Structure 1
Amino acid sequence: MASSERKLGVGICGLGRAGSIHLDNVAKSFDLQLLYVVEFRTEHAQTLLTKYHQDQCEIVSPSDLDKMLSDERVDFVMVCTPTNLHEEQVLKSLNAGKGVFCEKPIAATEEATLNCYKAAESNGKPLFCSFNRRYDPSLRKLYNERSELGQIQMVKMCARDSPFPPIEYLKISGGVFHDCLVHDIDAACWILGEFPKRVYAAAHAHNDAIKEMGDVDTVAAILKFESGALAIIDTSRDSRYGYDQRCEVFGTNGMFLNQNQRPSNMIKEELNGQSMGRMYNSFADRYELSYIQALQHFCRAVKGEESIEISKESTINVSKIATALEESCKKGCEIEVPY
């Protein structure tokens, strides 16, 4: 167990989109000390470290991962690399006695994911798959007060991405179901407290580059649960008016609505009508607080102050649901999820 009286030592693998966000949050934390970044783009890494005044941090190449893992000052590792590298880095970190905070997915296959969780259990170290929307303050409030709704009958999730992701990222993203919909699947199952029995999805590729990859960019998904509840997920890769994120939960006693967030909530009432500011433009802005609070939860787990909230079962089942939706889209029929 790490001492709660000193800063936790941190190593970050990968400084892409997510890794850069985590570097920012670690650098701003009074409770954490960034000791290493593992990144093959040395100049890119140095630019970020200079920006956040992390002069004490050492840059190591992926081939020198063991140098970081052998340092006893490192309490946990944040894995933010492409999916094909996750399994090796997660396993090595756990077997070196480090906690692991991993961007989804933990690994590319169910078997590999299970092996990672077994390593966490055998080494007595926390392994956290960061479905960070659970830590969004407004969605967390909805979750905490959901019992007021009585029997929940419907959950609607809208998740339209902005700006359009780089093509090079899309090629390694794992596809829209495992890259985007997994967040909404996890949130819907978390709110309902159960996993769906059957799922259905319809989708289309409006973007030619995405079509050439064999992927889709616009999805409508339906999840059917044992309780009778339904979840509907509406997803797009290309929302040009902003990062559209909404959640509606309907029950026998009423409805909760988690609306889009904006940098300013000021509303103008003028001669030509009502207007308000544009919603946040990207996931990094909209979920800024959820990234911070997910990290804070993990740090408490590293210190032994609380247990990891996102279970092995949730992580694996969400991936199974995404795969079933992908199969449904290809076959054009409802699919039973094989738990």
Structure 2
Amino acid sequence: YVTNIRLEEKDESLEKVQMALIVSGAIHLATIANHPRVVIRYVVDDDEKKWPLIKKYWRLNDTEFISSKDSNKVFQDPKVQAVIVASPTPSHEETVKGALKHGKHVFCEKPVAQDIASSERCYQQAKNSGKTLFCAFNRRFDPAYSLLKKRVRQGEVGHVQTIKVCSRDSPLPSIEYLSTSGGIFHDCAVHDIDIMCWVLGEYPCRVSAHVYAHTPEIAALDDHDTVAVVLSFPSGTLGMIDLSRNSTYGYDQRLEAFGARGMLVCDNERPMCGMTSEKGLRGALHEPIYFSFPSRYMLAYEYEMEHFLRVLDGKEEMQVQGHETLAVSKIASACEESARTGKSVELTWGPQDLPPK
């Protein structure tokens, strides 16, 4: 199920793509620094103390490091073809629109912007500029989730009666990060909402969310660290999301689709596959699951970047369309409203909102 994407792209006729990375997130930096088709022209990061270490570690001798106050240099450089936006969410709209206005393709970490209206403006700018705006919902590119979706759509479990997602973060993000994250629904739950709707091929007509903050520092931000959401879909499927900011035993990522003919499960992956069975009451001991998202979704990050490059080459249609991203934001906002009011929230969709079959 996993192909060697690097060898497949060993085509001398394909031109290298010159990119700028706005904020040196370790995930995307690792992905593009090792990619044979990518030239990193700029890294935009305000932590100047990290520059020499990053430059040396990733052998970026020809890459220019600049601070965010000089980011216009990226937009003005005609050699930059694409910009990766991994900066804090409040800066997304200005950065995305600035890159698009100057003729750059954009690979943007979710969410595209802080709210639906600003996200719509970004997609409108992409349309006006004739450039690609890709929202990085990376879990769609994970081999395990992709296979589960394929099997669900082929009808292996019949009509899906319930679909459950468990998503527990590890480690607890810093308060500095959380203060600009946009809240647990738009920062975390959007991944779970997107993967659930993507697997089912439909959007919910009703959501009900319940929340709590066990961490005082998170409560002080008027945010939450524990969430339970029930989503009702037009087909009769019930969806459940179990979400936590802090799992002490590792990065807990599971998905279950239960139907009339059986059940499909994406369970936690383990870097070491051993299991010990002992005499007595201790039973079976499993090796730990992955510690955090960079290791668990390493292949997904590579695959989504490869997809982005193929879209730029005209070889593939973009798999995360603008209306899908906006729909996920709409659902996340409805969950926020439900958590705030303590009531279920109804959702209506027009023909233009429906996900691709």
TM-score normalised by length of structure 1: 0.95
Partner of 2:173: 165
Offset of 1:171 from its aligned partner? 0.9
Letter in 2 for 1:175: G
Residues 145-188 of structure 1 show CA distances to partners (whole Å, capped at 9, x for unaligned) of 11222211211000011111111111111111111111000000
**How far, CA to CA, are the matches of 2:220 and 2:347 in structure 1?**
28
1:36 corresponds, among 39, 42, 54, to 42
- Mean alpha-carbon deviation: is it higher for 36-45 or for 170-179? 36-45
Q: 2:208 aligns with which of 200, 207, 220?
A: 200
Structure 1, residues 97-144: CA drift from partner, whole Å, max 9, x if none?
111000011111222211111111122211111111111110011111
Whether the aligned pair in 1 keeps the contact of 2:175 and 2:217 (CA below 8 Å) is yes
How far the C-alpha of 1:63 sits from its partner, in A, is 2.3
CA distance in 1, matches of 2:161, 2:286: 32
Q: Which residue of 1 aligns with 2:164?
A: 156
The aligned counterpart of 2:151 is: 145
Q: Is the 8 A contact 2:114 2:182 kept in 1?
A: no
In the alignment, is the contact (CA less than 8 A) between 2:277 and 2:285 conserved in 1? yes
Counterpart check, 1:277 vs 2:287? yes
Distance in structure 2 (CA, Å) of the matches to 1:254 and 1:46? 54
Give the CA deviation at 1:320.
1.0
- Report the more deviating stretch, 65-74 or 284-293: 65-74
Q: CA deviation at 1:338?
A: 5.3
What letter is aligned with 1:7? K
Return the alpha-carbon distance in structure 2 between the equivalents of residues 227 and 68 of structure 1. 47
The answer (yes or no) to whether the contact 1:4–1:303 under 8 Å persists in 2 is no
CA contact 2:75–2:99 (8 Å) conserved in 1: yes
Change (3 A) 1:46 1:336: farther
Q: Percent identity?
A: 43
Aligned alpha-carbon RMSD (Å): 1.4
* Alpha-carbon contact 2:142-2:299 (below 8 Å) kept: yes
In structure 2, how many angstroms separate the alpha carbons of the residues matched to 1:38 and 1:211? Answer: 32
Of the three residues 300, 316, 334, the one matched with 1:306 is: 316
Residue number among 256, 264, 268 corresponding to 1:256 in the alignment = 264
The AA in structure 1 aligned to 2:200 is: L
Q: Does 1:174 align with 2:182?
A: yes
- Report the alpha carbon displacement of residue 43 of structure 1 after superposing the two structures with TM: 2.1
Unpaired runs of at least 5, structure 2 = 1-11, 350-357
Q: Tell me what 1:71 maps to.
A: 77
Instruction: Name which of 324, 329, 333 aligns with 1:319.
Output: 329
**Which residue in 2 is equivalent to 1:293?**
303
Q: Distance in 1 between matches of 2:203 and 2:348?
A: 11
Match in the other structure for 1:92: 98
Moved more, 307-316 or 40-49: 40-49
Deviation at 1:212, TM superposition (A): 1.2
Distance in 1 (alpha carbons) for counterparts of 2:121 and 2:94: 11
Q: Distance in 2 between matches of 1:294 and 1:174?
A: 23
Matches within 5 A, 1:192-271: 192-271=200-279
* 2:189 alignment partner AA: L
**Alignment partner of 1:6 is 2:15:** yes
> In structure 2, what residue type is equivalent to 1:327?
E
Equivalence for 2:6: none
TM-score, normalization by structure 2: 0.91
Distance in 1, matches of 2:246 and 2:195, equals 21
Q: Helix, strand or coil for the counterpart of 2:198?
A: helix
Classify the secondary structure of the residue corresponding to 2:187. Answer: helix
* Partner-residue secondary structure (3-state), 1:149: coil
SS in 2 for 1:21: helix
Distance 1:331 1:46 in 2: 49
CA distance in 2, matches of 1:112, 1:242: 35
Q: Distance in 2 between matches of 1:207 and 1:68?
A: 39
Secondary structure of the residue aligned to 2:179 is helix
What do the CA deviations read for 1:62-111 (whole angstroms, capped 9, x no partner)? 22222222323222100011111111111111111111000011111222
